[in-house]
Structure 1
Amino acid sequence: MDDDPKLSAAGARLRQQTPTLDPARIELAALRRRSRRAVGAALVAIVLLGAVGAVALTRDPGEGDTASPRQLPPRTSDVEKVLAGLGSQPVDPTKVRLVSSVSRFGDCSALIGDLRKVGAAHVGSQGFGAWGVGPLWSGRLSGFAYAESSRSMPDVGPVGGDDALDLTPYAPTGDTIGTNVQVVGVDELDSVKAEGVLIYDLDGDGNLRITDSRDGTVLSSLDVTPRHGEPDEHPEPSASQILVADGKVAVFGNEEEVAEPVEGDPSATRASTSYLTVTLVDAGDPAKPAITDRVRIEGGLVSARLVDGEIRLVTTSNMADLGFVMPTTPNSVPIALEQNRRTVATSTEADWIPDWQRDGGDPTPLVPCDRVYVPDTFAGVAMTSMVTFPMGTGSFEPKGTSIVAPGTTLYAGLDTVAISSEVWVDPIDRERLEFDDWKTAIHRFGFADDAAPAYEGSGVVEGSTVGQFAFGEVGDALGVVTTSGTPWSQDPEVGVDLTLLTADGEGTLAETATVDDLSDGRGAVTAVRFLDDRVLVSTGFFGRQTIVLDLSDPAAPRRAGGVVLPGEVGYFHPLPDHRALLVGSRSDTVGSGQSERTRQWVQVHLLDVSDVDAPKVLATWERPWSADDVGADHHAFTYWPSRNLALWGLRDTQDGRQPNHVAVLSTDGGLTEVAVPTVSEAPEVAPPCTPIDVSAEVRQLVGSDGVVLRCDDRSTKEVTWPRYECFRVDDATVARYAPGEEERGAWFACSLTPKPHASRVLVVDGAPILYTDQTLERLDPETFASTQVTYHPNRGIGW
């Protein structure tokens, strides 16, 4: 194609008008980010990179900038030595073979020196392809100074000791059941918890609420999200999940820090940096909870567990704040590659080791350098850290160990944690490259009293892990179920393997037994559960085959029997006497022609696996026009062991605004429907402001069930009205449809909310409590009829 003279002239004018991008400014911006420890997705797009050239951006220490030893870059000669040893292209991930060995270094200099070399060999023309950590969690360039916040930390009174309050009024007389968990005794994160007669939850607006379940009274609401600077200067912080024990609450959230763009670069992006926040609350007096400590940790939350009063926290952080550049033309690719390699080669200790920071305090390394383990196969630039701290002290007192690998999947038992990681592949290359022999590394850590997590060893398994339930402990071995191929593969017909790994005492998880291709290469995995000396795996076409693996002899596990079901299994729940509940779904079609519709069913099977070679379905229950969340969120399921009852919420899938329900099934001697109560709406109350009659034109906009309200106070920003969701209407829109009325007050358009859905069925003090996005509803424990409905809005279950 011939050059267009007009486009050429326009390009020339653009180059003349655009300031030349000074490479030194890129380095300066990166150094600023490092000094402020804003570890985020700071990717600077290079415009006219071809005119920049390959400029060395290294600096010797002592050139005038003041920095801590952790922030000082290496000598120029060391940088050039690293760069001289690199090939013309980054390491090809298809040629990388995972190994189970790791290295450990005696000091920070040796550790960071090794990471510079490995990182520079793998970084690409677009950096490491990291776009922030997380979804959970996000910070401030101005530092972690809560004293400057308009909502500073409240005064903290005594915790425990002689001043501890009498909690007798809140002691339960009946069963209170915690969150449904994978391993008994290992509590998991959720946005709502029950203890005694109290319900603790996050309302979605950054507040921790404590509610008396007996009458639905909110005893207190505590803001647990700090805010900094001017309004709208930074994204709002959030609080998403909690752990609760003995009147103490740990709140996990995030805050986000936004950096300034690189000066002189008109296309520079603003870095967005994620921080995990941990807020500790003493709720010994439920009516007056107090924040006792709050810290932020670089990176994002993988998960957290609570075991015997100790929190085990797993975080991951990356190096995306190094000032990587991105090419905008094919000719700029090699220049961007050279610049990014140089950036990694000049990285510092502070770039690799995540910090944690308390209100008003200095950043502190989360782990010491001599407790960082580096896999001998590069698995990515993420630093995954396992940190323990006591719940009861009300203070964040971390002891940590890290491994340089992304935390893909986490399994947590009573005495062990295992994480999986894979060879790092840039997301932009995942569809382009082919991997014939994909493997996953498994790293195992153990725990002992008053000690940091101990690295026990690493192993390698074929294929990719398939979620936390694909892990289980079999005696001293760790069992892992994997599917062949990459984790991003969408192939529905793959092989499924079981591998048992045992620590050899010398840093290796040795493969001691396997069961290969237990699905005969015909299906991905939809559910897994380790049950004592058995494993249940749902696989095959649409997950309709449940296979039983016999682990009674861990040295020789075998595929035993199986059953074929009419639908997919999404979740296995263990029951006594080698039985299990299989919660899943199926679908069929009803009607014909224009009236043909797909009908969804929730389906539950009671499976007996006492004979591993001849498992049998004892009973089946199903409900049409229904769906549930159990397969995607096992916390949505509740089992009441003293009553042999399974309880969980159901969504109605028929057209129209139909009510939702809750399944209550008995597993005592079979599988029996006890009740399917309807989830009630919030109590109906009068509108908070004056309802206004509207024209036919406006009625068409707000809908037949919509209501327009006018509040006399024009400063009203939002209104709360049970059963309705209301939005402020701007003055221009009001003036368009009702000229002159915009000055008469604040106008709101309100529409009916969807019917409440029971995202959790709590058992608190012997009574079932339906926790929905709008209400708390108490049911009679015998008839399961509604006895009390309280308006209790929240923005939905956290992730």
Structure 2
Amino acid sequence: MAGVVVAGIGVAFGVGVAVGADGPERPGRPFAAERPGTGRVLLSNADVTVTESCDDLLAAYVDRGVERVTPWGWDYGDVYADTSGGATEDSGDSAPTEERGSAAAPVPSTTRAGSSETGTNVQEEGVDEPDVVKTDGQLLVRVDDDLLTAYSLTGDEPELTDTLDLADVQDAEILLVGDDVVVIGRSEDVSEQKWSYSGPPSRSRVLVVDVSDPTSMEVTSTKEYDAALVTARLHGSVVRVVVSAGLPELDFVSPGFWRDEESAFEKNQEIVRDSTIEDWLPTVATDGGDPEPLMECGDVAIPEDEDGGLGTLAVVGFDPAFADSWDTAAVLSASQTVYASADRLVLATNGFLSGPAWWGGDVIECFDVCPDMSRAFNGGGTTHLYSFALSGTDAHFVAAGEVDGIVADRWSMDEADGVLRVAVGPSAETGPFNSVVTLRETGEDIVEVGRVDQLGPGEEIKSVRWFDTLAIVVTFRQVDPLYAVDLTDPESPQLLGELKIPGFSDYLHPLGAWRMIGVGAAADESTGQVRGAQVALFDVHDVTNPRQLGVVEYGYGTQALAGTDPRQFTWLPDRRTALTVVSDVSTGSVGSVSVIEVEDGGLTQRSVEVEYGDDVARVRLVPLADGRVVLVTGNDISFFDI
């Protein structure tokens, strides 16, 4: 693969690792080529291995595939979901110790969080996330379907400078990296792909657009992956795209007049055994050229535990200024939940399906949480975790582990001072309650070191927010219990206090040292019936006794959209003002900006109608360093009058 640098799966520390100067020749096509100057890295951990040949890797796929095939083809599909992290990019290759430090702090404390430098409300400060709009303060770039537009922000009103049609891309979002815009989305070119139990056909498309001259934008690089887009992140100038190649499209047979179920089953097993490594590993086509391997066989870590699902989850790192070179690390897994901090990327695979599941020939629609019986499908109620260390464009696989319970989304995970903290919901492997669990990388294992159980028995986790040494967990059934968990000692986390109020918060945003805003829904205290959107102000100065200082309710038929998309929330610390988008479906899906001023005694609010219909979900409020705020609606870019 000329001009492409592909990183092998490595370990960021030397414990239990043997490095050879030359690896054995790898049979196969076109994955046989060794990377010049790259040594083989062998993991001694029995739980995770890296193969010495493509034959060994293919055998791992086939062994798992034979267990997944039925007389009609694949048994059921892995669920693909948008899932859609710390301060600065790790600048060195220093090796962590066997246990990556400790979170030492005298008392529980919170930290301030806000928008990224490009205007997006993100999970971790310093780790940018894709959005439909980005800015550097003078230039604003927006993507809408397959059209990229640029605006100058230097005048009294935003001024359109250029538009650019984007070829064959759907549901695009963007990252801004210096003078480059990275466009990330689904490819429209799926005509030759087939639907199957593994889901709809899916390809990912990544474009680099030069915006150094905002009056003449130009596409400088195009890549298409034959794998589904999971998410992307920006660390400094490094873009990391995570893609997932699921079950391959093989020419399975089905029972019929001339073939009974048993013979169809045997034939399909034979078809899986006859598959090739090219059937399983994803490819990439650059600038319209022929597809090439995205990785080599030695770049794929293989978990010994097969309950993590079947597929290939790849992390591709590149600098847009050098888009023809990239590093790839992968794991044989169906992971779809991705959390990123400053120096770690953690993949999570739940032990049950969270989408349509096949049960006795019937389709069960599983929304927030699947019925208990679906957990028997795929590994019980255990979540499998895979950790990668980030350095430059590399993502080195370092450790794997598991935790009993269900990790619902990326907001349920956090990494601080070498400690991975996760909030898990109930599963077949736990009691009927929620938990906060702390884990460390010890050698090549992710090992549990502490936990707090019995959070919200019989209730569902609605939101989680992590701080330096504090976790806030909101659960809900009829009332909103807000739990404060002390993480000062990771090996002995403690439940310090709880607050029970009507309604719940889908999204929590810290305002400073001891205040938080919760965006969610109001609910009837006696029945739990939701009665519209709600925003609440919380005081956690005394974590043993958290208090609600004020609440704003928007009425029946309203929804606070930041609960499902936190990018529709903006905090302006200098003004002590929050901006969030509220939709009112009772009046025909009217979208308003709620301007919420935070005062010592509570909250005051006013609403400004800005959008209607489907475009309400794309409204953004982008803060600029000079104090102005840009309002982005379906058809307009303007400055918003606070």
Task: Classify the TM-score, shorter chain.
Answer: 0.7 to 0.9
Structure 1 residue 209: deviation in Å?
1.1
Distance change in 2, residues 1:208/1:292 (3 Å): same
Asked if residue 258 in structure 1 is aligned to residue 167 in structure 2, the reply is no
Aligned equivalents of 2:530 and 2:81: distance in 1? 33
Structure 1 residue 360: deviation in Å?
4.3
Structure 1 residue 320: deviation in Å?
2.8
Aligned equivalents of 1:192 and 1:551: distance in 2? 36
Q: What is aligned with 2:593? A: 662
* Cα distance per residue 1:586-632 (max 9 Å; x no partner): 1569xxxxxxxx99443222212222211122232333353221111
Structure 1 residue 176: deviation in Å?
6.9
For 1:137-216, list aligned pairs within 5 A: 178-204=119-145, 206-213=146-153, 214=155, 215-216=157-158
Q: Tell me if the contact between 2:478 and 2:502 (Cα under 8 Å) persists in the aligned partners.
A: no
Q: What is aligned with 2:88? A: none
Paired-residue identity, %: 25
Amino acid corresponding to residue 279 of structure 1 in structure 2: L
Q: What is aligned with 2:399? A: 457
Q: Tell me if the contact between 1:199 and 1:210 (Cα under 8 Å) persists in the aligned partners.
A: yes
Structure 1 residue 133: deviation in Å?
8.2
> In structure 1, which of residues 448, 455, 460 is the aligned counterpart of residue 391 of structure 2?
448
Distance change in 2, residues 1:639/1:544 (3 Å): same
Q: Secondary structure at the match of 2:122?
A: coil
Q: Secondary structure at the match of 1:322?
A: coil
Structure 1 residue 660: deviation in Å?
4.0
Asked if residue 604 in structure 1 is aligned to residue 531 in structure 2, the reply is no
Aligned equivalents of 2:562 and 2:425: distance in 1? 22
Q: What is aligned with 2:11? A: none
Q: Tell me if the contact between 2:313 and 2:331 (Cα under 8 Å) persists in the aligned partners.
A: yes
Distance change in 2, residues 1:71/1:545 (3 Å): same
Aligned equivalents of 2:385 and 2:206: distance in 1? 27
> In structure 2, which of residues 291, 299, 304 is the aligned counterpart of residue 376 of structure 1?
304
Structure 1 residue 581: deviation in Å?
1.0
Amino acid corresponding to residue 238 of structure 1 in structure 2: Q
Asked if residue 576 in structure 1 is aligned to residue 512 in structure 2, the reply is yes
Distance change in 2, residues 1:754/1:482 (3 Å): closer
Q: Tell me if the contact between 2:516 and 2:538 (Cα under 8 Å) persists in the aligned partners.
A: yes
Amino acid corresponding to residue 438 of structure 1 in structure 2: G
Q: Secondary structure at the match of 1:472?
A: strand
Asked if residue 219 in structure 1 is aligned to residue 219 in structure 2, the reply is no
Q: What is aligned with 2:628? A: 767
Q: Tell me if the contact between 2:71 and 2:254 (Cα under 8 Å) persists in the aligned partners.
A: yes
Deviates more, 1:526-535 or 1:426-435: 426-435
Distance change in 2, residues 1:274/1:133 (3 Å): farther
Q: What is aligned with 1:414? A: 342
> In structure 2, which of residues 53, 57, 66 is the aligned counterpart of residue 107 of structure 1?
53
Aligned equivalents of 1:221 and 1:666: distance in 2? 36
Q: Tell me if the contact between 1:133 and 1:318 (Cα under 8 Å) persists in the aligned partners.
A: no
Aligned equivalents of 1:610 and 1:459: distance in 2? 35
Aligned equivalents of 2:200 and 2:508: distance in 1? 39
Amino acid corresponding to residue 191 of structure 2 in structure 1: V
Q: What is aligned with 2:460? A: 524
Structure 1 residue 665: deviation in Å?
1.8
* Cα distance per residue 1:499-536 (max 9 Å; x no partner): 1111112x1101111112222x2201111111221111
Q: Secondary structure at the match of 1:69?
A: coil
Q: What is aligned with 1:147? A: none
Q: What is aligned with 2:70? A: 124
Distance change in 2, residues 1:437/1:679 (3 Å): closer
Q: What is aligned with 2:559? A: 627
* Cα distance per residue 1:376-417 (max 9 Å; x no partner): 121322100111111333x24220111111123111111101
Aligned equivalents of 2:176 and 2:239: distance in 1? 10
Taking only aligned residues, the RMSD between alpha carbons, in angstroms, comes to: 3.3
Aligned equivalents of 1:464 and 1:757: distance in 2? 28
Structure 1 residue 763: deviation in Å?
2.0
Structure 1 residue 539: deviation in Å?
0.8
Asked if residue 617 in structure 1 is aligned to residue 548 in structure 2, the reply is yes
For 1:637-676, list aligned pairs within 5 A: 637-655=569-587, 660-667=591-598, 669-673=600-604, 675-676=606-607
Q: TM-score, normalised by structure 2?
A: 0.78
Aligned equivalents of 1:464 and 1:253: distance in 2? 28
Asked if residue 503 in structure 1 is aligned to residue 445 in structure 2, the reply is no
Aligned equivalents of 1:755 and 1:315: distance in 2? 27
Distance change in 2, residues 1:434/1:600 (3 Å): closer
Q: TM-score, normalised by structure 1?
A: 0.63
How many residues align? The count is: 546
Aligned equivalents of 1:124 and 1:424: distance in 2? 19
Structure with greater proportional helix content: 1
Q: Tell me if the contact between 1:70 and 1:348 (Cα under 8 Å) persists in the aligned partners.
A: no
Q: Tell me if the contact between 1:387 and 1:398 (Cα under 8 Å) persists in the aligned partners.
A: yes
Amino acid corresponding to residue 400 of structure 1 in structure 2: T
For 1:474-485, list aligned pairs within 5 A: 474-485=416-427
Q: Secondary structure at the match of 1:339?
A: helix
Q: Tell me if the contact between 2:559 and 2:584 (Cα under 8 Å) persists in the aligned partners.
A: yes
* Cα distance per residue 1:10-58 (max 9 Å; x no partner): xxxxxxxxxxxxxxxxxxxxxxxxxxxxxxxxxxxxxxxxxxxxxxxxx
Q: What is aligned with 1:551? A: 487
Q: What is aligned with 1:512? A: 449
Q: Tell me if the contact between 1:459 and 1:501 (Cα under 8 Å) persists in the aligned partners.
A: no
For 1:212-611, list aligned pairs within 5 A: 212-213=152-153, 214=155, 215-226=157-168, 237-255=169-187, 256-259=189-192, 273-327=201-255, 332-378=260-306, 379-393=308-322, 395-423=323-351, 427-429=357-359, 435=376, 437-449=380-392, 452-485=394-427, 494-505=432-443, 507-519=444-456, 521-542=457-478, 544-587=480-523, 600-611=531-542
Distance change in 2, residues 1:363/1:440 (3 Å): same
- Which structure is richer in relative contact order (CA contacts within 8 A, separation 6 or more)? 2
Q: What is aligned with 1:693? A: none
Distance change in 2, residues 1:328/1:552 (3 Å): farther
Amino acid corresponding to residue 217 of structure 1 in structure 2: E
Aligned equivalents of 1:664 and 1:509: distance in 2? 43
Distance change in 2, residues 1:447/1:680 (3 Å): closer
Structure 1 residue 462: deviation in Å?
0.9
Q: Secondary structure at the match of 1:618?
A: strand
Q: Secondary structure at the match of 1:184?
A: coil
Structure 1 residue 117: deviation in Å?
2.5
Q: Secondary structure at the match of 1:325?
A: coil
Aligned equivalents of 1:285 and 1:238: distance in 2? 25
Q: Tell me if the contact between 1:759 and 1:771 (Cα under 8 Å) persists in the aligned partners.
A: yes
Structure 1 residue 124: deviation in Å?
2.4
Aligned equivalents of 2:522 and 2:256: distance in 1? 48
Structure 1 residue 575: deviation in Å?
2.1
Aligned equivalents of 1:325 and 1:125: distance in 2? 7
Amino acid corresponding to residue 548 of structure 1 in structure 2: A
* Cα distance per residue 1:744-799 (max 9 Å; x no partner): xxxxxxxxx7896772222245322222223334223xxx3xxxxxxxxxxxxxxx
Aligned equivalents of 1:330 and 1:587: distance in 2? 58
Structure 1 residue 571: deviation in Å?
0.6
Structure with greater proportional strand content: 2
Aligned equivalents of 1:661 and 1:627: distance in 2? 11
Amino acid corresponding to residue 512 of structure 1 in structure 2: V
Distance change in 2, residues 1:554/1:677 (3 Å): same
Distance change in 2, residues 1:106/1:672 (3 Å): same
Q: Secondary structure at the match of 1:672?
A: strand
Q: Tell me if the contact between 2:78 and 2:309 (Cα under 8 Å) persists in the aligned partners.
A: no
